[in-house]
């Protein structure tokens, strides 16, 4: 009787740990299966935003160069004002 109880006290935690390990493995497998779907969604969103950006840049036309030059002038003037403070 004593040996039976002792054996069960060692086997019960082993069975519980094995069950928990199996459950964790299943959850990781489900996460792995969902990853490619999420990556595909992100890729599609990236392509959409790239297309929108390219359309906006093309629509802006020559204004983009004037915008870039005005930013350069602003940054240069802010550097000059920082020197005099």
The pLDDT tens digits of the residues spanning 55-66 come to 888 887 755 555
14 found inside a domain: yes
Q: Is the pLDDT of residue 45 over 60?
A: yes
67 found inside a domain: no
* pTM for this predicted structure: 0.38
What is the pLDDT of the chain when averaged over all its residues?
A: 78
- How far apart are the two ends of the chain, measured CA to CA in Å? 90
- Structural domain span for residue 51: 2-60
Four-residue CA torsion sign, 8, 14, 17, 18 = negative
36 found inside a domain: yes
How far is residue 84's CA from residue 57's CA, in Å, rounded to a whole number? 37
How far is residue 34's CA from residue 70's CA, in Å, rounded to a whole number? 46
């Amino acid at each position: 009787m004593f040996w039976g109880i002792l054996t069960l006290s060692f086997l019960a935690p082993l069975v519980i740990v094995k069950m928990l390990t199996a459950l964790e493995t299943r959850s990781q497998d489900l996460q792995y299966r969902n990853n490619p779907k999420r990556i595909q969604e992100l890729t599609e969103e990236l392509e959409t935003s790239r297309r929108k950006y390219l359309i906006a840049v093309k629509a802006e036309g020559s204004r983009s160069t004037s915008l870039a030059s005005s930013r350069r002038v602003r940054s240069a003037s802010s550097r000059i004002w920082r020197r005099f403070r």
